[in-house]
């Protein structure tokens, strides 16, 4: 395989520029994986890897991924918050790669909240 | 925490919370001296002297949602378990440097783990922060700097799937070349 060089970036940039004009990059869903010490220790990294793989495989452009710190419920980590535009945020508890795949396919893509994994509805209020 | 990559992600998240604009991650494997050095430097808001002293106390945290703060103590324990040392330097309004050394071939040293994945996670979820990753193995060295990538891609967001694919590919290739032992 040829070496990856900085020139490849220029080609990618041109390619992306062409594609960008075709669609608008509006975000529809924001997914937050809680990455505090507790989250990382209980497997949030693997959950995040799975989520990124799924997004790439599904080729969706309107899902934004971010991380946050611990919210004080360390015993229920890994936690994932799914915020669909104009809907209340949903927090999932004890997430693992399999649950993450299901949440991605059923909730993020199809809009069905996966009730058995839900910890709470709404966003946390930080004291 | 099973791998060193987990620790790096954890410490880097501290830097993110400290409002850093640039986070530098430096890994050095020195086979001759049997030493693995891990250094994470940020330009966040830093800590005052009295806070720095308390930072290594597992029962000290700046958060109000829980009463323990285990990130730094866990890394210190991991370093000391493998015969290494741990050090935090910080200056208020300038930034913080966390440095840990490990016995490279020590039985109790945690494996490096999925380092590429954690760098990707950091870049994707903090697209407004720059990351500089340097990995040295004896005389070979690999560097990845998002500031340089940003210069090339201009208005394309750094967390665009194509760019992330490029970074992953470049890191896989670069790390293959330096053949990390860890």
Q: Sketch the domain layout of chain B as residue ranges.
A: 4-178
A29 is a domain residue: yes
Structure token digits, residue B138: 């004896």
Domain assignment of residue A68, given as a range: 25-121
Is A17 an 8 Å CB contact of chain B? yes
Report residue A21's pLDDT band, with 50, 70 and 90 as the boundaries: low
Q: Is B81 left (phi over 0), alpha (psi -120 to 50) or beta?
A: alpha
CB nearest B170 (choices: A4, A36, A127): A4
A99 is a domain residue: yes
**Out of A19-28, A62-71, A111-120, which region has the weakest mean confidence (pLDDT)?**
A19-28
Position B1 scores a pLDDT of 86
State the average pLDDT over residues A64-89.
Answer: 91
DSSP per position, chain B: --SHHHHHHHHHHHHHHTT-SEEEEEEEEETTTTEEEEEEEE-S----HHHHHHTT-TT--S-SS-S---HHHHHHHHHHHTT--EEEEEETTTEEEEEEEEETT-TTPPP---HHHHHHHHHHHTTTSEEEEEEEETTEEEEEEHHHHHHHHTTS-TTSHHHHHHHHHHHHHHHHHH----
Contact assignment for A40 to B149 by CB distance below 8 Å: no
pTM of the model: 0.88
**Any bridge partners for residue B36, and if so which?**
B29, B102
Position B153 scores a pLDDT of 87
Q: Which CATH architecture has domain B4-178?
A: 2-Layer Sandwich (3.30)
Position B98 scores a pLDDT of 95
Report residue A57's pLDDT band, with 50, 70 and 90 as the boundaries: very high
Q: CA nearest B64: which of A79, A72, A67, A110?
A: A72
User: What is the value of ipTM here, to two decimals?
Assistant: 0.82
Mean pLDDT of chain B: 91
State the average pLDDT over residues A52-70.
Answer: 90
Position B100 scores a pLDDT of 96
* Whole-number Å distance between alpha carbons of A27 and A25: 6
**pLDDT > 70? residue A63:** yes
State the average pLDDT over residues A82-98.
Answer: 94
Mutate which of B162, B165, B169 to test chain A, going by most A C-beta atoms within 10 A?
Answer: B162
**pLDDT > 60? residue A22:** no
Say if CB B160 and CB B120 are below 8 A apart: no
State the average pLDDT over residues B49-66.
Answer: 83
**Any bridge partners for residue A66, and if so which?**
A32
Count of other CB atoms within 10 angstroms of residue A58: 13
Contact assignment for A9 to B173 by CB distance below 8 Å: no
A98 is a domain residue: yes
Position B55 scores a pLDDT of 85
Is A123 an 8 Å CB contact of chain B? no
Position B60 scores a pLDDT of 83
Among chain B residues, the shortest Cα distance to A7 is held by B152
**pLDDT > 70? residue B12:** yes
Total domains in the fold of chain A = 1
* Whole-number Å distance between alpha carbons of B116 and B138: 20
Domain of residue A81, CATH code: 3.40.30.10
Among chain B residues, the shortest Cα distance to A1 is held by B173
Contact assignment for A37 to B9 by CB distance below 8 Å: no
Position B10 scores a pLDDT of 92
Position B84 scores a pLDDT of 94
CB nearest B64 (choices: A4, A67, A127): A127
**Out of A5-19, A75-89, B31-45, B137-151, which region has the weakest mean confidence (pLDDT)?**
A5-19
Position B65 scores a pLDDT of 74
Mean pLDDT of chain A: 88
A126 is a domain residue: no
A16 is a domain residue: no
């Amino acid at each position: 395989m040829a070496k990856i060089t900085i020139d490849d970036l220029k080609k990618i940039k041109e390619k992306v520029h062409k594609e960008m004009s075709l669609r608008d990059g509006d975000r529809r869903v924001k997914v937050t994986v809680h990455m505090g010490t507790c989250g990382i220790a209980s497997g949030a990294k693997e959950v995040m890897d799975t989520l990124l793989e799924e997004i790439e495989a599904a080729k969706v452009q309107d899902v934004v991924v971010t991380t946050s710190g611990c919210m004080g419920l360390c015993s229920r980590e890994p936690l994932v918050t799914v915020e669909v535009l104009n809907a209340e945020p949903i927090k999932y508890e004890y997430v693992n790669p399999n649950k993450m795949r299901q949440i991605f396919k059923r909730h993020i893509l199809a809009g069905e909240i996966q009730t058995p994994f839900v910890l709470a509805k709404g966003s946390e209020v930080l004291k | 925490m099973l791998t060193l990559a987990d620790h790096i992600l954890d410490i880097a998240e501290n830097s993110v919370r400290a409002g850093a604009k640039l986070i530098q991650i430096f890994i050095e494997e020195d086979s001759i001296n049997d030493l693995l050095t891990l250094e994470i430097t940020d330009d966040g808001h830093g800590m005052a002297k009295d806070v720095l002293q308390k930072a290594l106390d597992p029962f000290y945290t700046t958060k109000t949602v829980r009463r323990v703060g285990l990130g730094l103590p866990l890394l210190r324990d991991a370093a000391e378990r493998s015969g290494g040392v741990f050090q935090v330097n910080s200056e208020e309004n300038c930034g913080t440097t966390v440095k840990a050394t490990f016995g490279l071939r020590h039985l109790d040293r945690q494996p490096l783990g999925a380092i590429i994945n954690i760098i990707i996670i950091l870049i994707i979820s903090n697209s407004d922060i720059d990351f500089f990753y340097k990995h040295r193995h004896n005389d070979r060295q690999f560097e990845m700097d998002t500031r340089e990538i940003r210069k090339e891609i201009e208005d394309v967001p750094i967390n665009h799937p194509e760019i992330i694919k490029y970074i992953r590919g470049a890191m896989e290739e670069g790390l293959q070349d330096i053949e990390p032992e860890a």
